[in-house]
Amino acid sequence: MGINMINEKFVLVGAVLNILGSATYALNTVKGKTKPNRVTWFLWAMAPLIAVSAQWSEGVTWAALMTFMVGFGPLVIFLSSFVNRQAYWKITKLDIFCGAISLLALILWFVTGQGLVALVFSILSDLVAGIPTLVKAFNEPETEHHSVFRNGAISAFITILTIQEWSFVNYGFALYILLICLTLYVLIRFKVGKNYFKIDNAKDVV
């Protein structure tokens, strides 16, 4: 199909939203209000940047801008975690395991060297790298900030609306980003984990 809902240049709006969300998160990190998981954010920077190179190799243009910004923002956040020594989450065995799997997915991309395969492995790498932060967002939502994920979801949705050719290379990464950002936004904004356990505890008391 060659039909898009809005002009593809609207991805620039999404790019601005990503910048604002990442800047807010980075500022809160410097202030010590948020504590990013360095493993997650480092790999979240690497995977999209590999994905965007795959998209470019397949001729993707405007949609690739969202992918690039999804990688650039985490890179800024990762670097900001070194400004304040207290503003980072301690690395656990889960982080190391997920990081290793994520890096393996990236290595597989280099081995294959194919655009579509690279995109699949980049999504897998990004998802596995995000598991520690998903767990942290569920258990300790107060150590995160929801705006970066809200803006990321909006940016991904805008990107999807601008797609002209509906191939997986065009929409795959944007759809994945929409889903994971929405999940993290809900977990953090509404403190799903905390509220769930409160309900459980209340039932136990009764």
Give yes or no for residue 76 having a pLDDT over 50. yes
Q: What is the mean pLDDT of residues 133-148?
A: 94
Query: Number of folded domains in the chain?
Result: 1
Q: What is the mean pLDDT of residues 137-143?
A: 94
Q: What is the mean pLDDT of residues 6-34?
A: 89
Q: In this structure, what token pair is assigned to residue 113?
A: 């060297």
Query: For residue 192, which amino acid is it?
Result: V
Predicted local confidence at residue 202, as pLDDT? 40
The domain of 132 spans: 8-205
190 located within any domain? yes
Strongest mean pLDDT among 60-69, 105-114, 156-165: 156-165
Kindly report the three-state secondary structure assignment for every residue of 69-115: HHHHHHHHHHHHCCCCCCCCCCCCHHHHHHHHHHHHHHHHHHHHCCH
189 located within any domain? yes
Give yes or no for residue 109 having a pLDDT over 80. no
Contact 144, 23 (CB under 8 A): no
DSSP state of 1: -
Radius of gyration, alpha carbons of the chain: 17
1 located within any domain? no
110 located within any domain? yes
3 located within any domain? no
pTM here?
0.84
188 located within any domain? yes
Q: What is the mean pLDDT of residues 92-110?
A: 85
* Residue reference for tokens 């801008």: 65
172 located within any domain? yes
Predicted local confidence at residue 185, as pLDDT? 97
Predicted local confidence at residue 14, as pLDDT? 86
Contact 76, 158 (CB under 8 A): no
- Residues of 113-148 as b/e, b for ≥16 C-beta within 10 angstroms? eebeebbbbbbbbbbbbbbbbbbbbbeebebbbbbb
Give yes or no for residue 135 having a pLDDT over 90. yes
**Residue pLDDT, tens place only, 24-42:** 999 999 999 999 999 999 9
Give yes or no for residue 195 having a pLDDT over 80. yes
152 located within any domain? yes
Q: What are phi and psi of 202, to 5 degrees?
A: -65, -40
Q: What is the mean pLDDT of residues 134-162?
A: 93
Question: Among positive and negative, which fits the CA dihedral 95, 83, 182, 54?
Answer: negative
Between residues 206 and 187, the one the model is more confident about: 187
Give yes or no for residue 203 having a pLDDT over 50. no
Contact 98, 38 (CB under 8 A): no
